Structure 1
Amino acid sequence: MEYQIIKADMAQDEEKHYLGHVTFTLAGHQSQYEITLFSKNGKDWDYSLNFAGESGIEEEFLKADELLEEDDDMFDALVDAAMESMAK
């Protein structure tokens, strides 16, 4: 599915854990989404998906979450966008 990254950030805390956020849109979806990313080592990622801003259509949200679970390339692109923000 086509997606567009709107903004991304990543930081490390005092224990060197990674915490990042990526705001993005999906083609055909009315809402923007924000994924919060967390990793202790920068390789194994946990995430939480939320609407960015106002709540939207639940069916679209569930489809977005399913897409993140199934589309490794898209998930990796979101992580990469957040990681690249650290280098700037």
Structure 2
Amino acid sequence: MNIVIQRAEITREPEGGYRGRVLFEAEGHKRPYEVTLLSKNGSSWDYSLSFGRESGPEEQIHAMEAALEEDDELFDTLVDAVMAKLS
């Protein structure tokens, strides 16, 4: 799946770890998405997916959720985008 990252940011949490956010568009999808990435150590990540600005079709967010679960390269692209902001 082709995506275009619009914005990425990351912060260090007071108790340790990281919280990142990535706003991105996916080819063929009507609305952009925002994924929030959480990590306690910078190597293992949990995420939460939502529409970025306004709601879109439910079937598209389900398709994106499935893509993030199945496509490690896609997920790594999002993680790499936030980690690049640490430098």
Q: Please, what TM-score do these two structures have when normalized by structure 1?
A: 0.95
1:22 maps to amino acid:
V
1:49 maps to amino acid:
L
Question: Does 2:81 correspond to 1:72?
Answer: no
Percent of counterpart pairs with the same letter? 47
- CA shift at 1:14, angstroms? 2.0
Q: Please, what TM-score do these two structures have when normalized by structure 2?
A: 0.96
1:10-47 CA distances to partner (integer Å, 9 max, x unpaired)? Answer: 11112221100000011000000000000001111100
Question: Does 2:18 correspond to 1:18?
Answer: yes
Match of 2:50 in 1: 50
1:51-73 CA distances to partner (integer Å, 9 max, x unpaired)? Answer: 00110000001000100000100
Q: SS state of the match for residue 7, structure 1? A: strand
**Where in structure 2 are there 5+ consecutive unaligned residues?**
none
Q: SS state of the match for residue 78, structure 1? A: helix
Q: SS state of the match for residue 31, structure 1? A: coil
1:76 maps to amino acid:
D
The Cα RMSD (Å) is: 0.7
Q: Which runs of 4+ in 1 moved over 3 A?
A: none
Q: How far apart are the structure 2 equivalents of 1:85 and 1:50?
A: 21
Aligned length: 87
